[in-house]
Amino acid sequence: MKLYILFICLTVASCFSVKPAPICCFPDQFETFMFISQGVVDVPSGKLGYGYGYANATVRTAFDGINQLTYAHEHSMSFMSIYPVPIVLDSANILDYKNNVQWRVYGDGSCDKLDVGLPLYPECIPANASLMSKGLLGKTGKVLQTFIFHNRIYLDPYEVTVTVIMSDDKEGECIPLRMSVSQAYVFDSDKNVDITVADIFDFTPGIKDISIFTPPSSCDKVTTIKESGSIKNSGSIRDILQKFADMHRNNRE
Is residue 13, in this structure, part of any structural domain at all?
no
Full DSSP string of 79-135: EETTSSS-EEEEEEEEEETTTTEEEEEETTS-EEEE---S-----EE-TTPEEEEEE
pLDDT one-digit tens code per residue, 20-75: 899 999 999 999 999 999 887 765 554 545 567 788 899 999 999 999 999 999 99
Residue 142, pLDDT above cutoff 50: yes
Q: How far apart are the first and last CA of the chain?
A: 63
Nearest by Cα to 203 from 72, 29, 11, 37: 29
CATH assignment at residue 145 = 2.50.20
pLDDT interval class at 153 (50, 70, 90): very low
Entry field: residues in the chain:
253
Residue 76, pLDDT above cutoff 70: yes
Average pLDDT of the residues of the chain? 79
Q: Within its chain, how far is the Cα of 35 from the centroid?
A: 13
For residues 113-129, average pLDDT: 88
pLDDT value at position 73?
Answer: 93
Tell me the residue type at 37: S
Residue 133, pLDDT above cutoff 90: yes
Q: Which domain holds residue 138?
A: 20-251
pLDDT value at position 22?
Answer: 93
> How many structural domains are present in the chain?
1
Is residue 164, in this structure, part of any structural domain at all?
yes
pLDDT one-digit tens code per residue, 224-238: 766 544 444 456 787
Is residue 11, in this structure, part of any structural domain at all?
no
For residues 188-215, average pLDDT: 83
Residue 82, pLDDT above cutoff 90: no
Is residue 222, in this structure, part of any structural domain at all?
yes
Is residue 73, in this structure, part of any structural domain at all?
yes
Is residue 12, in this structure, part of any structural domain at all?
no
Is residue 140, in this structure, part of any structural domain at all?
yes
Angstrom distance (rounded) from CA 176 to CA 117 = 27
pLDDT value at position 204?
Answer: 93
Is residue 159, in this structure, part of any structural domain at all?
yes
